[in-house]
Structure 1
């Protein structure tokens, strides 16, 4: 009996140490931002384009950090409460709207991390009134801590 208790105690310590060392960045953040790059619609090859005086805001998502800045890409946070996220992109008082239709899937990572949402882009709706020519999905899965674009925004 004593031997069984010791074995179980030792096994519990080993399991706790193995599980407790999970310091993955995946646990630290629930990434839900679309990475979008700006490109010229007139270029033969895809060349990223820097755009000055960009203002981005949203009626559906709070805290977007773009206010009169020069950028060649954007990180646009998707809503975890709705299946659509809308953004108004303004350049020198010209406005276009981009709406992402997305799906979310709740996944269990571990006891320490808990659950995270995996997000997938389904459709993009956009106005091409002012400066946006087209918007294209290049990677539909939103993956935390990966440095690749999900969307290309082609500008006139």
Structure 2
């Protein structure tokens, strides 16, 4: 008889738990953190097209531009490493002038809310870049969050 009561309480507990979950909760926040950057073309630059891709997979283009002069985009940072590197290719192929940008960062997970769960919060420690076509890189904000409105760096070429 005791076994039967325990079984009933167990099943009732599972049902109560399932009923207490609100399945209509949706995550209404961005949960992807990355370096928000602005690209700006110098008045003396002769570069007409650029693309940005991860160093480990250059075919996986994250950004491609024509001849416009200013952009704001996001670069994803690695969740498994404290460095993330990107190719900055000025021209139509990797055989043209290619710079490398390496971000050194730390990461912690922060609980956003029940619907969204944990999200990565990054802090940029430093950045190194080559300067074949990149003229300069300016720090604007070292805290990298899921807020896509906050610029972290500005790259001029």
Please indicate the TM-score interval, normalised by the length of the shorter structure: 0.5 to 0.7
The answer to whether the 8 A contact 1:31-1:142 is kept is: no
Per-residue CA deviations over 1:16-69 (Å, capped at 9, x if unaligned) read 59x77754522xx422221111235679xxxxx9x6321212124784432454
- Length, aligned pairs only: 133
For the Cα contact (< 8 Å) 1:122–1:140, is it kept in 2? yes
The answer to whether the 8 Å contact 2:120/2:145 transfers is no
Please list the CA deviations of residues 63-122 of structure 1 after superposition, one character each: whole Å capped at 9, or x if unmatched. 443245445223211111111110111112211111111111111223332211111111
Q: Cα 1:110–1:75, aligned 2, differ >3 Å: closer, same or farther?
A: closer
Q: Which structure 2 residues correspond to residues 111-126 of structure 1 after superposition, within 5 A?
A: 111-126=114-129
Q: Which has the higher strand share?
A: 1
Is the radius of gyration larger for structure 1 or structure 2?
2
- Classify 1:76/1:116 alpha carbon distance in 2 versus 1 (closer, same or farther; 3 Å): same
**Residue matched to 2:106:** 103
Q: Which 4+ stretches in 1 moved above 6 angstroms?
A: none
Q: 1:61 to 1:122 in 2, by over 3 A?
A: farther
Q: Counterparts in 2 of 1:25-104, with a 5 A limit?
A: 25-26=28-29, 29-40=30-41, 52-60=48-56, 63-67=60-64, 69-70=66-67, 72-73=70-71, 74-92=73-91, 93-104=96-107
Task: List aligned pairs for 1:144-155, cutoff 5 A.
Answer: 144-155=146-157
With over 3 angstroms needed to count, the CA separation of the structure-2 counterparts of 1:120 and 1:144, relative to structure 1, is same
Q: Provide structure 2 residue ranges, at least 5 long, that are not aligned to the other structure.
A: 1-15
* Whole-angstrom distance in 1 between the partners of 2:112 and 2:63: 32
State the Cα distance separating 1:132 from its structure 2 match: 1.1
Distance 1:38 1:131 in 2: 12
